[in-house]
Amino acid sequence: MKLFLYSSAALAILSACSSTSAANPDPKNPAHCVAAFHYGRELMLTGDNPDYKVAIGMTGRALFEMKRLPSSGLTTSKEIGADLLKKYENNTEVMQKLLLDCRANQNADPSFQAADKSGAIMAAARKIDPICKDDRACLAGKKY
């Protein structure tokens, strides 16, 4: 559950429809994509050579998905994300496919392209990602 714990602060503020579940990973479900991007973030931070820039980018992608979540009839997607990660955290094939499919969907979305090109996504990610906490160079986009 290590993958979920590190990013639980961001997941705690997410919302999704109560009919959403982790039964079948769905790259069109924003709550599932948030969980997938947090999973990807953790992958980028493991091993001898962590990739901080990509990890922060995954946080940005998760933040973008949070904007897609509905605003009524809500339960926290923390539960949905936890269920998804609990069920599939040891199934790298399923989680990586979900991650890649969510990424492809975002990359094809003109609103994501515009936000990414403007730098808004990375700027927002740097503000909340623990990697940049108390690191002025990181917060300013001069590091990672």
What gap in Å lies between CA 132 and CA 96, rounded to an integer? 25
Q: Give the helix ranges, DSSP H, for the chain.
A: 2-6, 8-12, 30-45, 52-66, 77-88, 92-107, 110-118, 120-128, 136-139
What is residue 119's DSSP assignment?
A: T
Whole-number pLDDT of residue 62: 95
Percentage, residues of the chain above pLDDT 90? 62
Please tell me the pTM assigned to this model.
0.80
Name the average pLDDT for the chain. 82
pLDDT tier, 47 (very low <50, low <70, confident <90, very high otherwise): confident
